[in-house]
Amino acid sequence: MTTAPETTPDPLPDAEELPEDARVGPLRAMARIRRFEERCVELYSAERIRGFMHLCIGEEAVAVGLMGALADEDAVVSTYREHGHALARGLPMTSVLAEMFGRVTGCSRGRGGSMHLFDAGRRFYGGNAIVGGGLPVAVGLALADAMRGRSAVTACLFGDGAVAEGEFHECLNLAALWHLPVIFCCENNRYAMGTALEREHAQTDLALRAAAYGMPAWPVDGMDVEAVALAAERAAAIVRAGAGPCFLELRTYRFRAHSMYDSDRYRERAEVTRWKERDPVDLLRERLVAEGRLDDERWTRLVAQVDEEIEDAVLAAEAAPIEPVEDLERFVYSEPS
Amino acid sequence: MSLRRQTYREALREALAEALRSDDRVFLMGEDVGRYGGCFAVSLGLLEEFGPDRVRDTPLSESAFVGAGIGAALGGLRPIVEIMTVNFSLLALDQILNNAATLSHMSGGQLAVPLVIRMTTGAGRQLAAQHSHSLEGWYAHIPGLRVVAPATVADARGMLAPALASPDPVLLFEHAGLYASEGETNGAAVGLDGAVVRRPGTDVSLVTYGGMLPTTAAAAERLDTEGISAEVVDLRSLRPLDADTVLGSVRRTHRLVVVDEGWRSGSLSAEVAARVAEQAFYDLDAPPERVCSAEAPVPYAAHLERAARPAVEDVVAAAHRTTG
């Protein structure tokens, strides 16, 4: 049993004394996602979280590098593997976890769960669980921004599996044809559920395929958050300038199985181990330590702060109310505001 | 506005032009809506008046442009998306069901999708099985959508403005056989949820919608000459279904015939008959009758297509069965 937050003594009295190096920010954000999802595994095993749950452990650099390059007025369309995207976009951890607990305080009132996190105020248009299904919506959001003369861009996240869907090709064509401000962000983790990239694509160079639609497209080291951030900033600048869409192939890897139901029989352990050698959290942490920007003490403190936030979110979710059953059919149609 | 005579096609065009003129958030997109003028010539001339940004030709990418309509609606616009036929809309079914109909509820009421999708439905022009089906009943199955089927010139003229004012997605089904039909309209708005009694009668209720209204009205005329007074109810809205108007009619006539161009099994006609059986069973003097399309893909050959669709004599025969 965790102590209630109001009685927790501050274990880090000097946490605010030294300003944090700007390059530690992304490390903190990645560690926050990592520790959050590791806690989610425990909560899933304890049956506090149910349904499908897809973890992005190993892919945190994509979420953090990309979201850091976006402005508040930009829009995000994501997939069912979106805990990291949501947290990095700024959705409060309390509302994300409450959602996974099925509570009315959740960011979708408990109607969506892990796969369908929404936050209209932060222009976070969900967690779409139909592979490829978010791309047309992203094109439309960008169309609205373009037609209204707004400078916003829409970041559309999807996996390598979506590249095999017809909607991918329809949408890249349409966005390029109409010069729409979309950053197509392909989170290539090399597996469409259990089917490896080379077993699902005749041409596995996904950036090459996107380039065929006449847009700038390039591969990015998706394990290096600083490389992702640079690429995302460059893409956002191109798109915001009105040059039409861009495509980023963010080459990454999920360390965990596809979902909590997946026994992960389709890949070699050695492959997973090899990718873990380029763990995005370790990669940046070691780089910052080598450059003298971080030491063990600060790292320990950072992790403790993150863990405290997570435990607070767990307590809040446990205590949160559920939606009354009488409200089941609310919002099938809009309510007068 | 005074009463004017025009075609169903002209009424739709006038409604579109009015919407484009009165609200700069409104735009029309779809296959060949611009330079071609719409495959049924509904949008002819609109490109010239409103320009290519607001009368937008799309590639043949139903899922992308319907989904783009959803995204544009989320982004504050009021898109009107035209799909050539309901058969083609199946390529966009994922977007219509999993996004348009679902986002409001699944997001806990944070999102609304004020999108209008117009599409053609129905048979009668020898276009064979992939251009002729009547699948509006499928869409009427889906919570989160509003589904309307204007059957008259006045409804064609008056339903678009309320559809655009709705914060929820509205599907507007235009029967291909109605485009050249003529009628009168004063341009007034027509509500999206109400059925209407097109012809009062006392002996049997003929309940129909959309492209089957002329057939049903003709059947009522013929029944009249045979001494049977038929009431014709036009559902107008397929979702929500105005059960009260249907039940009210059945309570007056005590007999029900549903005329629906969809296939019989699992159809809208089944829904109407079930509601009447549930809520007005003891008012019925005869089992409900249904007149639907033959349970086969719509064929090309004229005589086969004719045989596949509900005809005036089928409706008359069904009414006779209820009146004994």
B18 and B161 together in one domain: yes
B216 and B168 together in one domain: no
The confidence band for B25, taking pLDDT boundaries of 50, 70 and 90, is very high
Confidence at residue B38, expressed as pLDDT on a 0 to 100 scale? 93
B127 and B210 together in one domain: no
Confidence at residue A261, expressed as pLDDT on a 0 to 100 scale? 83
What's the farthest any 2 CA atoms get from each other in chain A? 59
B87 and B216 together in one domain: no
Q: Is A155 among the domain residues?
A: yes
- Look up B175 and say whether it is catalytic: no
What is the domain-level CATH number for residue B221? 3.40.50.920
Shortest CA gap B92–chain A (Å): 10
Q: Is A334 among the domain residues?
A: no
**Cβ distance A67 to A233 under 8 Å?**
no
- CB atoms under 10 Å from CB of A201, counted, come to 17
What is the domain-level CATH number for residue B86? 3.40.50.970
Domain-ending residue, one of B164, B185, B206 = B185
**Cβ distance A110 to A104 under 8 Å?**
yes
Chain B hits for A130, CB-CB cut-off 8 Å, are 94, 98
Q: Is B318 among the domain residues?
A: yes
B68 and B111 together in one domain: yes
Q: Is B190 among the domain residues?
A: no
B90 and B210 together in one domain: no
Count of structural domains within chain B: 2
- The encoded tokens of residue A25 equal 């920010």
- CB atoms under 10 Å from CB of B132, counted, come to 27
Q: Taking 80 as the threshold, does the pLDDT of residue A13 lie above it? A: no
Domain-ending residue, one of B151, B185, B219 = B185
The mean pLDDT value for A144-164 works out to 97
Q: Position of tokens 């139901």?
A: A261
- CB atoms under 10 Å from CB of A269, counted, come to 8
Q: Is A327 among the domain residues?
A: no
For residue B53, give the amino acid letter: D
Domain holding B295, by residue range, is 196-323
- CB atoms under 10 Å from CB of B39, counted, come to 15
Confidence at residue A3, expressed as pLDDT on a 0 to 100 scale? 41
d(CA A305, CA A299): 10
pLDDT in tens, B194-212: 999 999 999 999 999 999 9
Q: Is A17 among the domain residues?
A: no
B35 and B170 together in one domain: yes
Q: Is B93 among the domain residues?
A: yes
Domain-ending residue, one of B185, B209, B228 = B185
| pLDDT, chain B, mean | 97
Q: Is B242 among the domain residues?
A: yes
CA distances from A123 to A39, A78, A80, B305 (A): 26, 11, 17, 50
The confidence band for B324, taking pLDDT boundaries of 50, 70 and 90, is confident
Q: Position of tokens 């009943």?
A: B137
The mean pLDDT value for B276-305 works out to 97
**Cβ distance B256 to B273 under 8 Å?**
yes
B252 and B312 together in one domain: yes
d(CA B119, CA A226): 48
d(CA B320, CA B324): 6
Say if strands B196-199 and B230-234 run parallel, antiparallel, or are unpaired.
Answer: antiparallel
- Give the chain B residue whose CA is nearest to the CA of A143: B72
Confidence at residue A18, expressed as pLDDT on a 0 to 100 scale? 59
Nearest by CB to A130, which of B69, B98, B143? B98
Determine whether the interchain pair B98/A133 forms a contact, defined as Cβ–Cβ distance below 8 Å: yes
pLDDT in tens, A194-207: 999 999 999 999 99
Share of chain A above pLDDT 90, in %: 90
What is the domain-level CATH number for residue A140? 3.40.50.970
Q: Taking 60 as the threshold, does the pLDDT of residue A300 lie above it? A: yes
Q: Is A151 among the domain residues?
A: yes
Cβ neighbours of residue B46 closer than 8 Å, sequence gap 6 or more: B13, B16, B17, B20, B28, B33, B34, B55
Q: Taking 70 as the threshold, does the pLDDT of residue B260 lie above it? A: yes
B177 and B218 together in one domain: no
The mean pLDDT value for B129-158 works out to 97
Interface predicted TM-score of the whole assembly (ipTM), two decimals: 0.96
For residue B168, give the amino acid letter: D
Q: Is B191 among the domain residues?
A: no
Shortest CA gap B77–chain A (Å): 6
B303 and B173 together in one domain: no
- Look up B320 and say whether it is catalytic: no
Q: Which SS3 state, helix, strand or coil, does residue A323 take?
A: coil
Q: Taking 60 as the threshold, does the pLDDT of residue A10 lie above it? A: no
Rg (CA), chain A: 20
B75 and B141 together in one domain: yes
Determine whether the interchain pair B73/A140 forms a contact, defined as Cβ–Cβ distance below 8 Å: yes
Shortest CA gap A264–chain B (Å): 28
Chain A hits for B66, CB-CB cut-off 8 Å, are 136
Q: Taking 70 as the threshold, does the pLDDT of residue A1 lie above it? A: no
Partners of B4 in beta bridges: B185
Q: Which SS3 state, helix, strand or coil, does residue B78 take?
A: strand
d(CA B91, CA B95): 9
**Cβ distance A67 to A225 under 8 Å?**
no
Count of structural domains within chain A: 1
Confidence at residue B235, expressed as pLDDT on a 0 to 100 scale? 98
Cβ neighbours of residue A83 closer than 8 Å, sequence gap 6 or more: A33, A36, A37, A40, A55, A56, A96, A114, A117
